[in-house]
Structure formats: structure tokens, C-alpha cells
Structure 1
Amino acid sequence: MLVCSVVLPLVAALGLVLGGPSAGRADAASVCAGRPAKTVSFKTGELRVYKSRSYACAIAVAKKSGPRRAMSVTLQARGGSPVVDRGRYTKQAGPVTVHALNRCVRASATISGKSGSTGWILC
């Protein structure tokens, strides 16, 4: 019994230190590596673009979680083919990643028929 009274509080404390109270939330951390480079808000959500040393990553995040609906996110490095994640999701489309060392990228997102895009960025 002594083991349970010592171990359980330690496990709970460790969870708060490592993850914090919002660790389970979808918006608590990005699924893309790198630093935020650009955010484009539109009526139904946001397009978020991240940049690491060699790569760019993009996700489309709905303003409100809800029933499955049409979402897509596209990311293209200049001179390359676009990478697309398209489907019916509840909260987010993506991530999509492209190699972008010394290359401009452009991104776009659509959620429930409304869209946003960046034009060429990170040049």
C-alpha cells in the first residue's frame, strides 16, 4: 500500500512537468518541426506554415472542431511538385512537408469551401 501512495503522486507530478495540463489538446503543440513562419487566417480556419533549416511544413486547422468536413492543405517548393493532403477531417489537414533549402514555397488551405493562401514566401 505504501508503494501506491508514493508512486501515484510521483506519476501525476511527472505528467504535469512533462506535459502540463493542456498536453492532450490538439493545439498544445504543432505537428510540424521548425519555427512558425506564416499564419493565414480565413473564415473557417487557419493555414500555418513552419520552417526548419531544410524543410517547410504546412497544416490547415479548423477554427472549431466538429463533424467531418472537406479539408485540404497544399505545399509546394518553387520548381517542385505540390504535396497535398485532402480528405474529410474533424480538426486538421496535414502536415505536408517539402524540401525547401534555399527555395521559396507557397501554401494554401481549404476548409468547408473557404480558403487561404500565402503566395511565394521564405525566399
Structure 2
Amino acid sequence: MKRGLTRRLRAAGLAVLAGSWLLALAPAGGAQAAPTRCAGHQVRALPFPAGAVHVFRRHGYVCALTVAAQPGAARPVSVSVQARGSLPVTDSGRRSHRAGPVTVHTGHRCVRIAGSVGTQSVRTGWILC
């Protein structure tokens, strides 16, 4: 009998803990939190009508992700990062909100960033040189 009570209390405690994590991760008041799935600090935001590409840098790596301005029905979303002298690394698919993160080792090389949501897109030349 004591063993059953202990299991139920343990299960209830885990449920409360999981719920508190979900509340802690949710943006407050319906406000959209800045995307922080990339390590490092944000060095650029590349806005376009359907969303924005957020670019982060840390210790010789560049990370980017595309976030739709209006989450909703699944549509083509993509992000691409290319270090000069290398092939681009891309994440794309039919999604409702975001593509990425995509991380590339750049060292001290320039990068090209591209992102799209639906039919709208943004593309840079060589940046972060």
C-alpha cells in the first residue's frame, strides 16, 4: 500500500515539474520571444515581408534560422548558410513556423545567407567578413 502511494506522488511530482518547464519556455503574454535556438549572439536580422532570417555567431561558427512572421498552415520554409569556398548548408521543408538552425564553421571567412517563407525570400551577398 505504501509503495503505491509513493509511485502516485512521484508521478504527480513529475507532472508538475513537466508543466512548469512548459510554462517557463512559453513566451509571456502572447509576445513572440526572439529565436534563440542558435548558440552565440545575434549579429544580423534580415527581415522580409513574410518573416526574417536571424544570424548568430560564436567562436568561428555562424548559425542561421528563418522564422515566419505569421505562423499558420504549413508552407515552404528554408534557410541556407554558405561559407566562402564551401558548399551551402540548407534546411528546408513544408513547415508552419521555422527552418533551421543551420550551423557552419566559417573561421574568418565571409558567409552568404538566404531564407524564404512561401514565395518571399531574402538573400545577402558576402557578409561578416
TM-score range normalised by the length of the shorter chain = 0.7 to 0.9
Q: Give unpaired runs (5+ residues) of structure 2.
A: 1-8
Q: Which ranges of structure 1 fall in alignment gaps of 5 or more residues?
A: none
Task: State how far apart, in whole Å, the 1-side matches of 2:85 and 2:66 are.
Answer: 23
What is aligned with 2:67? 61
Q: Is the 8 A contact 1:22 1:28 kept in 2?
A: no
Within the alignment, does 1:44 sit opposite 2:44 as a pair? Answer: no
CA shift for structure 1 position 30? 0.8
User: Within the alignment, does 1:24 sit opposite 2:26 as a pair?
Assistant: yes
Distance 1:43 1:117, change over 3 A: same
CA contact (8 A) 1:77 1:99 kept: yes
Structure 1: distance between partners of 2:40 and 2:126: 18
What is aligned with 2:112?
Answer: 106
Q: Secondary structure at the match of 1:71?
A: strand
With the length of structure 1 as denominator, give the TM-score of the two structures.
0.80
Q: Distance in 2 between matches of 1:29 and 1:90?
A: 15
The answer to whether structure 1 residue 91 and structure 2 residue 94 are counterparts is no
* Separation (CA, whole Å) in 2 of partners of 1:120 and 1:51: 15
Could you give the per-residue CA deviations for residues 34-62 of structure 1, whole angstroms, max 9, x where no partner exists? 11011111010001110001200010000
Larger Rg over CA atoms: 2
RMSD: 2.8
Counterpart pick for 1:116 among 98, 117, 122: 122
Q: Cα offset for 1:121?
A: 1.1
CA drift at 1:119: 1.7
Q: How many residues align?
A: 118
1:66–1:91 contact (8 Å) kept in structure 2: yes
- TM-score, normalization by structure 2: 0.76
Runs of 4+ residues deviating >2 angstroms? 19-22, 24-29
